[in-house]
Amino acid sequence: MEDAEQQLEGEEQQRPAAGHGPLAGFTVGVTAARRAEELGALLQRRGATVLHAPALRIVPLSDDGELLAATKELLGRAPDLVVATTAIGFRGWVEAAEGWGLGGELLEVLGGVRILARGPKVKGAVRAAGLTEEWSPASESMAEVLDRMLAEGVDGRRVAVQLHGEPLPGFVEALREAGAEVVGVPVYRWMPPEDIGPVDRLLDAVLARAVDAVTFTSAPAAASLFSRAGERGQLDALLHAFAQDVLVACVGPVTALPLHSRGIRTVQPERFRLGPLVQLICQELPSRAHAMPLAGHTVEIRGHAVLVDGELRPVPPAGMALLRALSRRPGWVVSRADLLRALPGTGRDEHAVETAMARLRTALGAPKLIQTVVKRGYRLALDPAADTKYAD
């Protein structure tokens, strides 16, 4: 995380003095319940507008009867091997046990068994508890952990696997098929959010294409969003938005599983951390922006704003709808009737187009970017040298 942060800081220092970051003009939805503020702050520092809609809530460990039952089961009969998967989960397990008056007994049991830690953060949490891991993969991959365990053999062994709210596809099943007795330790569990309002607002924004990207840091969050969309009769529309227009960014391949199962393409950083996730979004969204030479200016169309010669110009939703309709065929005339159909929530009065166009021109600060063609409609004032590039 720190390395990625330093790299992102370096990018900020290299920006031209335009007063905006790489995500300026874009809106990003954040579905995370845990570390949402951290992710939102990273995005906002790069210029994004953030729409936070936690799709889940986490059951407090101290209130989790399933975790207490699993802990007592392991204290009653110690495992041969413990697989620790997340740092926050392992720390939380020890802290919850202490709250139940079982902390010392749990550490004593864990101190006498083999511990495999998924990655360096988990390894740090294990050592902070006064324990020592036997092995940790450099790849931070559960697949590598599984391969090692199966190669060593687990037949007849009792294995405790720290579950962390996300699916471990095939992991537990493979261990059981190899003869292991697996005890799941649910260090935290996901539940639907108490306030569903933010999720509904995010769904509305995605369907209206008012969001440019949605981030997922857990597979259950994606599943929860799909579930809510289904309840509202909007699942097909949501899938279409994700497939065609809205960038879907996941922190890693496990998180992406519910999306991939529905045919949705996602982008993921090479390192499964928030910093690299933000860095990837900083690359992906600007690369999707539509830049054109208009009336001697360079114009780049972003989610809810436009860069005119590098200056960020916020544009109202109606104006953005008109601009996108015009940009689909730069230099070609678009009729008032077609522009009216592009406007959100309007009736049949073409006067709405004229009003929205006037506001758009004012927002752009360069009225000559859009030409009025008498009795026909409007067109973008594409520079003559660019005509060949944008011709049909």
Q: At what angle do helices 235-244 and 219-231 cross, to 10 degrees?
A: 130
191 falls in which pLDDT band (50, 70, 90)? Answer: confident
Q: Where are the beta strands (DSSP E) in 69-157?
A: 81-84, 114-117
The 8-class DSSP code of residue 61 comes to G
DSSP-derived 3-state class of residue 226: helix
User: For residue 204, what pLDDT is reported?
Assistant: 96
348 falls in which pLDDT band (50, 70, 90)? Answer: low
The Cα 284–Cα 267 span in angstroms is: 9
Q: What is the pLDDT of residues 59-105, one digit of tens each?
A: 766 677 888 999 999 999 999 999 999 888 898 899 999 999 999 99
User: For residue 48, what pLDDT is reported?
Assistant: 95
Structure tokens at 56: 């889940």
Question: The dihedral of CA 45, 202, 187, 164: what is its sign?
Answer: negative
DSSP-derived 3-state class of residue 224: helix
The Cα 182–Cα 186 span in angstroms is: 13
* Highest mean pLDDT out of 229-243, 305-319, 321-335, 340-354: 229-243
DSSP-derived 3-state class of residue 57: strand
Alpha-carbon distance values, 123 to 79, 108, 120 (Å): 19, 18, 5
Q: What is the pLDDT of residues 167-190, one digit of tens each?
A: 566 889 999 999 999 999 988 777
Where do the structural domains in the chain lie, given as residue ranges? 2-58+193-288, 61-188, 290-390
14 falls in which pLDDT band (50, 70, 90)? Answer: very low
Assigned CATH topology for domain 290-390: Arc Repressor Mutant, subunit A (1.10.10)
HSE value, Cβ hemisphere, 13 Å, CA-based, for 137: 15
Question: Do 2-58+193-288 and 61-188 share a fold?
Answer: yes
Report percent pLDDT > 90 for the chain. Answer: 64
Whether domain 2-58+193-288 has CATH 3.40.50.10090 = yes
The Cα 310–Cα 306 span in angstroms is: 9
The Cα 150–Cα 133 span in angstroms is: 18
Name, in order, each residue with C-beta under 8 angstroms of 261's C-beta and a sequence gap of 6 or more: none
Does residue 146 surpass a pLDDT of 60?
Answer: yes
Whose tokens are 């920006």? That residue is: 15
User: For residue 19, what pLDDT is reported?
Assistant: 57
HSE value, Cβ hemisphere, 13 Å, CA-based, for 148: 18
Whose tokens are 């471990």? That residue is: 168
Q: Mean pLDDT across the stretch 189-211?
A: 91
Structure tokens at 315: 């544009």
Contact 92, 64 (CB under 8 A): no
Residue 9: CB atoms within 10 A of its CB come to: 11
Q: Mean pLDDT across the stretch 30-37?
A: 88
User: For residue 88, what pLDDT is reported?
Assistant: 81
| 270 exposure class (CB count in 10 Å sphere: 0-12, 13-18, 19+) | exposed
Whose tokens are 């097909």? That residue is: 236
Q: Which CATH architecture is the domain 61-188 placed in?
A: 3-Layer(aba) Sandwich (3.40)
The answer, as to whether pTM is greater than 0.75, is no
Angle at 30 between CA 255 and CA 278, to 5 degrees: 75
More confident residue, 2 or 28: 28
More confident residue, 54 or 253: 54
Contact 364, 270 (CB under 8 A): no
Does residue 43 surpass a pLDDT of 90?
Answer: yes
Residue type at 166 in one-letter notation: E
Q: At what angle do helices 197-207 and 235-244 cross, to 10 degrees?
A: 50
